[in-house]
Chains A and B, each alone.
Chain A
Amino acid sequence: MNRALTLLRRRLVGSVFVLLIVVIGTFLLLEAAPGDAVDAYIVSTGGDAGMIELLRHRWGLDQSELTRLANYLWALLHLDLGQSVTFSRPIRDVILERLPNTLLLMVSATALSFGLGSALGIYAGARPGSLRDRFLSIGSLALYAVPGFWLGLVLIVVFAVDLRWLPIGGIETLASDKTGLDRAADIAVHLILPVSALGFIYLALYLRMMRAGMAEVWRQDFVLAARAKGLSRRRIVLAHVARNALLPLVTMLGLQSAQMLGGSVVIESVFSVPGLGRLAQEAVASRDTPLLLGIILTSALLVIVINLAVDIAYAFLDPRVGASEAGA
């Protein structure tokens, strides 16, 4: 427990710096954008020069860049991301409203890709060089080459347009008064296609990692020892080889979270899922810079939290971590 706490503390300090760099970096990037929030607002509502002047002053846009950055950081400390121009609401509220859908999508896609990917990886890696191993390894490479958004469109054509088995998009049936389990089932049905489109690509990644990891473990002495003891092949594969090859995949789980968040931007757009990714696209379309900044920060924070959780889980799963961590 102590070990995990030390690790957590050191990682937290590092994360604060990283987050600060992200804030300043994105702030500077979005400063470079032509036009500001007032321009975007005036374009959508109309207004004269006096109005522009007034709004600039009220939103503090007439101050120097440094003052604005300081103001922004100060507001962030109070968990205030500012006001969205397009939604006329606090950005924090808009993001919190969309976040659960993205999390649901990500968690389901991760479960699918990790579960099925590692299972198929074990199946392939159990007999290295066999026909099924070669087939799965080529198949996963092909899958890895598929763009998620295109896979999403193909799934829509097949399962929603031609077969009419599944809904074409959205997160739940609109204007339905379903509650409880009915609503959960409805959401689950809506999630099948987007989760498959997002998850299948990463499935290939976990399959390949598992297979490669097992190939390394097969060569080690303890596998030979297990064989000499007369253990069944099944037991060697599951309890010795696969188990030792599984750990790197756990690290990958954290590293992939940023990729998956990025991937969900396009997937959410394909399936009209009202999540963070679609919100980012809306922010881009309406030039709502503060909103985009808020989404980037929220994603960064999410990635940091996921990686921290993975590191802690890893420390518990692998007793060797604490020993070597002192120097790293």
Chain B
Amino acid sequence: MSALRRFLRTPEAVAGAILLAALIAMALSASLLFPGDPQAIAGPALLPSFQDWSLPLGTDRLGRDVLAELFHGARTSLAVGIAAAAAALVVGAVVGTLAGFAGGLVDEVLMRITDAFQTVPSFLLALAFVSVVGPSLGIVVIAIALGTWTGPARVARAEVLSIRERDYVAGARVIGMHPLAIAFREVLPNALPPVLAMSSVIVAAAILTEAALSFLGLGDPNRVTWGGMIAEGRAVLRTAPFLSIVPGIALVLTVLGVYLAGEGLVETTAVRRGLS
């Protein structure tokens, strides 16, 4: 309880928590409030907002309910953002721990691979991956994780390098623990805090990348995405800019919420290393 109170001390963290709570509520209530297919035609095309109260935000070019799309889009954004960030953090932590703990040739090879992934623009990599394997939710998640695991890997490695010299690691060696067991049971958990401190930045980046991918038509075609809605609205940008602007505002508020809550969390736990 006191941790929560400490978290909610700064106005930024409160704002972030409210934004995130609203987003999660939107995602969870999407099928309750708007059952049925959000991509189905709900009314006349290009109905302006605040005219028909059964369709408060109006309809898009194909007569789909904008508000329903917005709610279902929150789901996709959140799911992809969290899944991709989780994948990136797990892969990064494992690779970083292996590289840092093993040292020598293993370290050299793993770090050169990390370099290679950081050299290719991550968005270009995601674009190529999705276009090769085909757009679906899982593939988009993998594509985003491909470009984001390198940051956590570097942070984890740096942390492991300092931890592996500690006495308790030497102790674990003396009692004959397997090196892999030492690496993953003793070292990794202690190297995690600075890696986890990166999670809000990574979730935010993943949400933005997903939006950009679906904006370019590489999102899962069977799901409503905010990026896809912005792209849809682009065709009628001159006459109905509202259609592109509203899902964009939803994106900005979501990412802002993630950042603010993340900063609040980092300050609460006072883990400031790794976030530079």
Contacts and interface: CB of A to CB of B under 8 A. Distances in A.
A75 interface: no
A86 interface: no
A127 to B, nearest CB: 19
Interface stretch (A27-35, A41-49, A88-96, A113-121): A27-35
A281 B218 CA distance: 10
A55 interface: no
Given A26-B120, A149-B212, A154-B248, A280 B237 contact: no
A147 B121 contact: no
B122 A18 contact: no
Contact of B212 (A14, A266, A287, A303): A266
A265 B124 contact: yes
Interface residues of A, number: 50
B162 interface: no
A65 to B, nearest CB: 15
A269 B132 contact: no
A153 B237 contact: yes
Given A141-B256, A161-B241, A153 B234 contact: yes
Contacts of A150: 211, 230, 244, 248, 251-252
Given A32-B133, A145-B259, A161-B241, A153 B230 contact: yes
A153 B255 CA distance: 18
Contacts, number: 141
A84 to B, nearest CB: 16
A36 to B, nearest CB: 12
Interface stretch (B44-52, B65-73, B109-117, B176-184): B109-117
Contacts of B245: 153-154, 157
B127 interface: yes
Contacts of A262: 121-124, 147
A266 B119 contact: no
Contacts of A14: 112, 115
Contacts of A161: 237-238, 241
A275 interface: no
A138 B12 CA distance: 8
Given A147-B208, A154-B248, A263-B123, A18 B116 contact: yes
Given A33-B131, A146-B255, A304-B119, 7 more contacts: A18-B116, A142-B252, A147-B215, A258-B118, A263-B123, A265-B123, A296-B128
Interface of B: 12, 112-113, 115-116, 118-125, 127-129, 131-133, 147, 204, 208, 211-212, 215-216, 218, 227, 230, 234, 237-238, 241, 244-245, 248, 251-253, 255-256, 259-260, 263, 276
The 9 A-B residue pairs with the shortest CB-CB distance in the complex, in nearest-first order = A262-B123, A262-B121, A150-B248, A145-B255, A21-B116, A145-B256, A284-B131, A261-B121, A33-B132
Interface of A: 14, 17-19, 21-22, 25-26, 29-30, 32-33, 138, 141-142, 144-150, 153-154, 156-157, 161, 209, 212, 248, 258-259, 261-263, 265-266, 269, 280-281, 284, 287, 289, 292, 295-296, 299-300, 303-304
